[in-house]
Amino acid sequence: MAERVTIKAAPRTVLGKKVRQLRRNGRLPGNVFGRGIESCAVDVDAREFARTIKSAGLRAMIELDVEGEPAPRYVILRGLTRSGGTGEPIHIDFFQVDPSIPIQANVPIRLVGESPAVRDLAGTLLPGLDVASVRCLPLAIPDAISVDLSGLKSFDVTLTVGDIAPVSGVEILTDPAIVVATVNPPRVRAAVRGA
């Protein structure tokens, strides 16, 4: 299951161009929205947000603890606007999910184990897929999908999405024919004949 992190937020009354003052005070403005709920303006501590996202990643399930609300909101990061496109975050959008309704998410592929074709035949491992699209309950999103490389015993074997062992409660939506990993044979240099 993906790591769940908590971020403290405060209801935001400062809107429009006045949010610059919030940013100068170390606060990051944002919005919470979702199906069937009214959009809510919030702000979070910019340093806490940066630390949390750096350790948990952009795909983490977040418990947004909004000041004055009785229970945390389960949210995922839906949008992150950065200064100049690549600078410091200047605005965040959180999508509130219902923990009882499945959602679609992208989960990283983690290659584990060792391929006999690499170890014994001096082949080169060629990863083919970084993330897979899945459908599951929001609180059951896996950290990663592990793919065992021990099945790559020769150069004519490829691992596809269809070969991934299913995780309980997680449906993989990515096309089963897409290659996850394969092994290339070593390059052989032709001997140059001298005259």
3-state secondary structure 115-134: CHHHHCCCCEEEECCCEEEE
Q: Read off the pLDDT band of 180 (50, 70, 90).
A: very high
Q: In terms of pLDDT, which residue wins out, 174 or 19? A: 174
Q: Which amino acid is at 2?
A: A
Comparing 11-20, 54-63, 176-185, the range with the smallest average pLDDT is 54-63
For residue 174, pLDDT over 60 is answered with yes
Structure tokens at 70: 């009785």
Q: Which of 57, 59, 66 is nearest to 7 (CA)?
A: 66
Q: 131-136 and 171-172: which strand pairing?
A: antiparallel
The C-alpha atoms of residue 42 and residue 72 are separated, in whole angstroms, by 13
Q: From the CB of residue 75, how many other CB atoms can be counted at a distance below 10 Å?
A: 26
pLDDT of res. 193: 60
For residue 194, pLDDT over 80 is answered with no
* Mean pLDDT computed over 114-136: 92
pLDDT of res. 69: 92
The C-alpha atoms of residue 103 and residue 126 are separated, in whole angstroms, by 30
For residue 163, pLDDT over 90 is answered with yes
* Mean pLDDT computed over 78-99: 87
Q: From the CB of residue 159, how many other CB atoms can be counted at a distance below 10 Å?
A: 22
* Mean pLDDT computed over 32-60: 87
* Mean pLDDT computed over 35-64: 87
For residue 1, pLDDT over 60 is answered with no
Comparing 59-63, 67-71, 172-176, the range with the smallest average pLDDT is 59-63
* Mean pLDDT computed over 82-111: 88
The C-alpha atoms of residue 52 and residue 62 are separated, in whole angstroms, by 10
φ, ψ of residue 82 to 5 degrees: the values are -115, 150
In a 13 Å sphere around the CA of 116, the CA atoms on its Cβ side amount to 7
